[in-house]
Amino acid sequence: MGAPSPGRVGPFGRAVIAGVLAGCGFAAWTVGSYGVGGRGTWRPLNLVAHVVWRDAPTSGGFSLMGAVVGLLILLAAGIVLIAPYAALASGAGLSAPVTLVGAAVYTNAAWVIGDYLVWPKLDPVAARDFSPGVAWLGHIVGGIAAGAALAAQPGLGSAARRRWASITGAAGRLPGG
């Protein structure tokens, strides 16, 4: 039994996969941005963890518990955030490009609500210390990752492998090859 493909995963499974990818995309973008910007690589995950674990560090230093809790929160938030969009997108029969761009727009709208209305009420310290620009771009990256998962066509990978095999097989039959 191999890894699940989009053709064998139902709508709920696709929404979960898309949400996990959204959370991972957001985490990767924010951790990378903070690290490259010299603001503490682990600070985004620590701040997210601080929402539920008030003893989490708010600095950029590594905390195993902060990283794990922060990442788990982002994965869960990604699933909860993307599920309504996944249901709408699959029900509307959107094309792959519209699904992809729509997910980025949807997560951008969610960022506005979350960053300015929800997060400050849940954890004023973490909300104040998390860069809104990094969070905004993180939501777009997460949306693109989720949109790509939702837009994936069943069997597309197999078709690409067959095409590649026909190209490489033909190349072996060329004169001098």
Instruction: Indicate the domain borders of the chain.
Output: 11-172
The residue type at 117: L
The answer to whether the predicted template modeling score (pTM) of the entire model surpasses 0.85 is no
Task: Give the pLDDT confidence of 34-48 residue by residue, as tens digits.
Answer: 999 999 999 999 999
Confirm if 26 and 103 have CB atoms less than 8 A apart: no
Question: In which element (H, E) is residue 143 found?
Answer: helix 132-151
Tell me the CA distances in angstroms from 35 to 42, 62, 66, 116, 169, one per residue in order: 8, 12, 16, 24, 44
DSSP 153: P
Phi then psi dihedrals of residue 50, to 5 deg: -60, -20
Per-residue pLDDT of the chain (177 residues; tens, 9 = 90+): 555 554 577 889 999 999 999 999 999 999 999 999 999 999 999 999 999 999 999 999 999 999 999 999 999 999 999 999 999 998 888 889 999 999 999 999 999 999 999 999 999 999 999 999 999 999 999 999 999 999 986 655 566 667 667 777 765 555 554
N residues, the chain: 177
Distance of alpha carbon 172 from alpha carbon 90, whole angstroms: 42
pLDDT of residue 156: 53
Two tokens, residue 29: 């973008």
Helix axes 11-36, 96-113, angle to 10 degrees: 60
DSSP 152: P
